[in-house]
Structure 1
Amino acid sequence: MVGDGIQAVVDALATRLGRSVAVDDPAIRLIAASRHFGDEDALRVRSVLDRQIPAELQQQVLASGISDWPGPGILNGDGQYDFAPRLCCPVRCNGILLGFLWLIESVGTIDDVAPGLLALVEEAADSIAVLLYRKMLLHERERSQAESSLRLLLSPDREDRARAVTEIEEDSLLASTAHTAVLVAEIDRNPGEDATVALEAAAEYVERRLTPRSVLGFVRGRRLVLLVSGARPLGDQAARELAAQLRDRFFQLADSARYRCAVGVGGDAQGLEGAADSYRQATTAARAALLLPMFGDVTSWASLGPFALLLRIDLDQLTEDLPFPGVRDLLADPEQQILVSSLEEFLDRAGDVSRTAAALHVHRTTLYHRLKRVEVITGLDLDNGLDRLTLHLALKLSRLSPGRPS
């Protein structure tokens, strides 16, 4: 295995030097580490146990510019993280940064490092680079195959979905397909490279927290799609927590002032055959989260209520298709927003005047006056069940129109 090859190179270098050696990926996550020779510090021990260093230190280390170093150098700790000096050798193949090789040093500058030691470190880094490059190519092929199968699985075409099921099962891309659920993360504008990379990194972050071969995913434009599978249903609460981790990781890497990221959670599906339905549900939930602040940034299909259906209506025809001109007049007039909000509160509370007045902090007489004004403007009767339904639907549909204040 490629990983065994990297470990062998690390162990051979450590034994030859009589010093502990570690290799991280470009994000400072541990790939391999030798046994210790008494030269380890607290940070090295923690990185081996946790497989990574604290996020704040990760940012500090990368900000030092080690990704651009042409060769080995010395990194000194300062500020909150005062760690022992480290010899850092970037690991590259074909100009691609694949990781870093580390030795804990007692010296403070690269000029003090023995030339013979540098030669051995660079030789080991070159060997590791070839192994990591092969691993990267293999991973890219596997990921491309998995993405292609997932896109087919979520296709509206039945034959495409059937072919995808066969591919996923024959290639053992997932350990168990008894239950599936789809998460869709969507950002509110066309992404720059930073946002695309952040979406991909967020997907990888979530995948590492789940059991192996339980996730398929891809990023397309401003949308990330993740399918999570298992022997048992993921459950709405667990899925929402996973979605929140996905969103939080995105904002750790992307500019939160520039983008808004919403995550929709689809319902549990039986087997791969139902994944397309979960995907449609997750897409609808993500759309609700982007359009309606009332839902927050993480929304599940199960929580949408009537919006699960309303969001499938063609909004371009919304204004023209409202059945009563008076309803359009009420919703379109900015000066009548107090009437609209009072009406919506009244209808959301099933016509309970006392509870509505208390929620609005107004006297019941004031509420009656507002509701009467609504009837005059719309020509509808709030004592009529069908008229109430018409108004309630019109209000909820209007919330989906981008021009209507929320």
Structure 2
Amino acid sequence: MSLDDTVQDLADRLGTPLVVLDLDLKVAAYSMHDTPERRDRLARLLAGSQEPVTATLVRQHRLQAATAAVRIPADRQNGPRLVMPLRHQKQLFGYLYLVEDRPGIDIESDQGTAHLVEASGPEIGTLLALRLSDLRNTADRSRRLLAALVSESPTERQSAADALLRDGLIESTDHYSVLVYRSPDSSLAAATGLAVDATLDFTTRSTTVKIVGAVVGNEGIVLFPRPVNRTRLEKSLHRPGLEKVRAGVGSAKDSLTDAVESYREATIACRASALDPDRYGQRAFWEDLGLDRVLLRLPLETLTPRDLPDGVRRLLASPNAAELTATMEGFLECGGEIQGTAKRLNIHRSTLYHRLDRIREVTGSDISDGSTRLELHAGLRIARLAGMAPRD
């Protein structure tokens, strides 16, 4: 029998639902939850809002070393639990547990439940090991296919697209888009994989859409058979440990072989989020970048203040550079409209006039001239993306 069938068979014999967790305490299988209360408990488990077995409990009750079922007392969120470590060839692969809610059953004195769980533990452990092995093989294949799909080789891209569809890893549709995750430095590389897992997990729980994700090199890549949903992306990024991960989203393309273009857009959008988090936050969408689509293709890391227009360079070198730069950026982004700029900067109009006069003196420029404004706007934007503009 399969893992699911075996777990359900044991649950039927016990008269209570069962859940199987892997070593990361993620749900690997579960039996039918047949009452409103049990279904609600399962929903909270799958949503991550309730954890009957936590890493703290694993340590406190020494579950990793246990060879028999372990009883865990009730707490404020959960009733008493019975947890059985699952092994295959002496290697630990996860845990089987039940939350005791059967009328008249005292988990402390009920030996029959523990005996049945312990007797079924070896078989369930073997089936869990096989499932996790299959999942690892699928993950490895997904990684190889995604790497080929976004490669420079048209032949590799076509072959990968055919395999993804043939294996049912992604559905055939009219639009495909790519999400890219990156961590700011190598010490946080594990967070990139965590972001991919969070996206796969959230999408699986909240929709029936099939997506493919993997860490390829230093990037997390997730392929969607439709445009990426902004709200769902925000929710998946709210997981602990993902605070510093940056995300970029490409536009939807008409064919799977063209998803490489969405990937290239996503990498640029991800760079935008990393370089200007004040504007874009933790994630950026290609469709929102505007002129940054062009500017982010520049070798920003090699630019110095000497490469900027003279007026911009003088503004950045001024004593009140942070204040004056923010003022000029706000003024330009409001199209030179005084009232809107003052409101945006939360300052009085007379203060704004004073700062603009100071900017004219520092830059030696006529900021009412259209060409000068264009030069200042583009120059300041490049300085901001290159990390040369001071922050408030």
TM-score, normalised to structure 2's length? 0.84
Which amino acid is the alignment partner of residue 153 of structure 2?
Answer: D
> Is 2:164 the partner of 1:168?
yes
User: Contact 2:17–2:31 at 8 Å: present in 1 too?
Assistant: yes
Q: Is contact 2:88–2:125 with CA below 8 Å preserved after alignment?
A: yes
Answering whether residue 13 of structure 2 is matched by residue 23 of structure 1, we say no
Write the deviation string for residues 220-275 of structure 1: whole angstroms up to 9, x where unpaired: 4653211101xxx43xxx621121122113x2xx2x6xx51222221111111221
What's the counterpart of residue 317 of structure 2? 332
Decide whether the 8 Å contact of 1:7 with 1:34 is kept in 2. no
C-alpha deviations, 1:296-340, integer Å up to 9, x for none?
Answer: 223211112222221111113432563533421221334233322
Aligned to 1:175, the other structure's residue is in SS state coil
Match of 2:334 in 1: 349
Q: 1:218 to 1:8 in 2, by over 3 A?
A: closer
One-letter amino acid of the counterpart of residue 279, structure 1: Y
1:311 counterpart residue number:
296
Asked if residue 289 in structure 1 is aligned to residue 273 in structure 2, the reply is yes
Give 3-state SS (helix, strand or coil) of 1:179's partner: coil
CA drift at 1:218: 0.8
* Aligned: 1:64 with 2:57: yes
Quick one: which amino acid aligns to residue 371 of structure 2?
L
1:33-56: per-residue Cα shift (whole Å, max 9, x none)?
Answer: 2687xxx8x7544345x2836735
Whether 1:279 aligns to 2:263 is yes
Deviation per CA, 1:192-236: give whole Å up to 9, x if none. Answer: 58635633431331331365562111124653211101xxx43xx
- Rounded Cα–Cα distance in structure 2 between residues aligned with 1:332 and 1:100: 64
Q: Give me the whole-angstrom Cα distance separating, in 1, the residues matched to 2:328 and 2:146.
A: 45
For the residue of structure 2 that corresponds to 1:346, the secondary structure is: helix
Q: Secondary structure at the match of 2:366?
A: coil
Using the alignment, how far apart are the partners of 1:122 and 1:240 within structure 2? 45
Contact (CA 8 Å) 1:30, 1:52: kept in 2 or not?
A: no
- Alignment correspondent of 2:81: 86
CA contact (8 A) 2:331 2:341 kept: yes
- Report how far residue 155 of structure 1 moved: 1.6
Inter-partner Cα distance in structure 1 for 2:118 and 2:358:
81
> What pairs with 1:150-189 in structure 2 (closer than 5 Å)?
150-189=146-185
What SS does the corresponding residue of 1:350 show, helix, strand or coil? coil
1:245 partnered with 2:235 = yes
- Quick one: distance in 1 between partners of 2:328 and 2:209? 50
Q: Deviations over 1:138-164 (max 9, x none)?
A: 222222112211111112333332232
Shift of 1:64: 1.3
User: In 1, Cα distance between the equivalents of 2:71 and 2:319?
Assistant: 64
Query: Residues 325 and 297 (structure 1 numbering): CA distance in 2 closer, same or farther, change over 3 Å?
Result: same
Q: Distance in 1 between matches of 2:167 and 2:53?
A: 41
Aligned pairs for 1:69-218 within 5 A: 69-70=65-66, 71-79=68-76, 81-83=77-79, 85-94=80-89, 95-102=91-98, 104=100, 106-109=105-108, 112-114=109-111, 118-192=114-188, 195=191, 198-209=194-205, 214-218=210-214
The offset of 1:399, in angstroms, is 0.9
Offset of 1:391 from its aligned partner? 0.6
Partner Cα distance (1:47, 1:154) in 2: 41
Give the conservation status (yes or no) of the 8 Å contact 2:20–2:27: yes
Q: 1:6 aligns to what?
A: 3
Q: 1: distance between equivalents of 2:337 and 2:14?
A: 79
Provide the rounded CA distance (Å) in 2 between the counterparts of 1:74 and 1:398: 61
1:55 to 48, 52, 62: 48
- Note the aligned Cα RMSD (angstroms): 3.1
Query: Whole-Å Cα distance in 2 between the matches of residues 206 and 82 of structure 1?
Result: 23
Q: 1:227 aligns with which of 223, 235, 238?
A: 223
Aligned counterpart, 1:46: 40
Contact 2:83–2:95 (CA under 8 A) maintained in structure 1 = no
Residue 8 of structure 2 contacts residue 30 of structure 2 at CA under 8 Å; is this kept in 1?
A: no
Distance 2:292 2:383 in 1: 11
Which blocks of at least 5 consecutive residues in structure 2 are unaligned? none
Question: What percentage of residue pairs aligned between the two structures are identical?
Answer: 27
Contact 2:146 2:221 in 1 (8 A): no
Q: 1:368 to 1:184 in 2, by over 3 A?
A: same
Q: What is the CA deviation profile of residues 1-35 of structure 1, one whole-angstrom value per residue up to 9, with x for unaligned ones?
A: xxx523443354455x5533513223363723268
> How many positions carry a matched residue from both structures?
379
Single out whichever of 27-36 and 344-353 deviates more from structure 2. 27-36
Q: Provide the residue aligned with 2:30 in structure 1.
A: 32
Q: Secondary structure at the match of 2:181?
A: strand
Instruction: Return the TM-score normalized by structure 1.
Output: 0.81
Take 1:214 and 1:14, find their aligned partners in 2: how far apart are those partners?
A: 29
Q: 2:200–2:212: 8 Å Cα contact kept in structure 1?
A: no
Which amino acid letter does the alignment assign opposite residue 144 of structure 2?
S
